[in-house]
Structure formats: C-alpha cells, structure tokens
Amino acid sequence: ATERAYLGNSMENHLGIVFLPTDEDGTTHAEMPVDHRTCQPYGTLHGGASLALAESLAGYGSWAYCAPNEIPMGMQVSGNHISPVRVGGKVHASCKLVHKGSTTHIWYITLTSETGRLAASIRVVNYIVRKK
C-alpha cells in the first residue's frame, strides 16, 4: 500500500503494477493485471505494456542501488514476446541485475503467465544520472 501511494500519478499506478518483495539476491518482482488498461483490442497482453512493466521494474531495482543524489533513467529496452497472456489474469515479472557499473545497470526480465508459461524475455539498460 505504501508503494502505491509513492507511485502517485505514474505509469506504474495507471497500469496497476504492484511491486512485490525483493529476494535476498536482489532479484526484484512485480505483477500487472491483464485487463482493459494493458491489453490489445483482441484480448491479449499488449507488448508495450510488457515493456513498460519491465522498464518500471528495472528502474525500481536500480533505484535501490543508487546513492541519494542519483536516479536511474531507462536508456535501452529490448524484448522478445514469446506467448500471449489472455485478459482476466496477471503477468508476473522477475528482474535480475546482470551488470552493476558506476553509470549503467543491465537487467534481464522474464514475464510469465499465472500458469508459469514464459510470455516475454526483456533486457533493460539504465543510465545512472546525478540529480542537479
């Protein structure tokens, strides 16, 4: 509930993204409903919503590694959509840090359906920017 309030008027809040507890190894998790906000006209998860989920989760993960005077900014997103997820369920995202440099973080994200079927494989690069 606190994270929802923190998100305020944001893409994450609009799409119904919920951040879940982070694993001890730093793997971050989130879920998003497949509904009227996130689907294509013919009733399956929209690829753009998948990428928005992945970039949001990678940003959330990078934010945990940033100094108080830094923020993560999405620099590159690349994804492969593997199988459709139908309206009415949720998609689960797991995000693992594979490179933590001083100015870039690289994350691999997998999206799965509620049945555990791979829906997408996504890579996000975040650029770490100093606040001015």
Would you give the distance in Å from CA 24 to the centre of its chain? 18
Q: Rg (Cα) of the chain, in Å, rounded?
A: 14
Q: Six-digit token pair at 123?
A: 């890579």
Task: From 87, 105, 89, 88, select the one nearest 97 (Cα to Cα).
Answer: 105
Catalytic residues: 55
Distance from C-alpha of 90 to C-alpha of 18, rounded to nearest angstrom? 11
Q: Are 88 and 34 in contact (CB under 8 A)?
A: yes
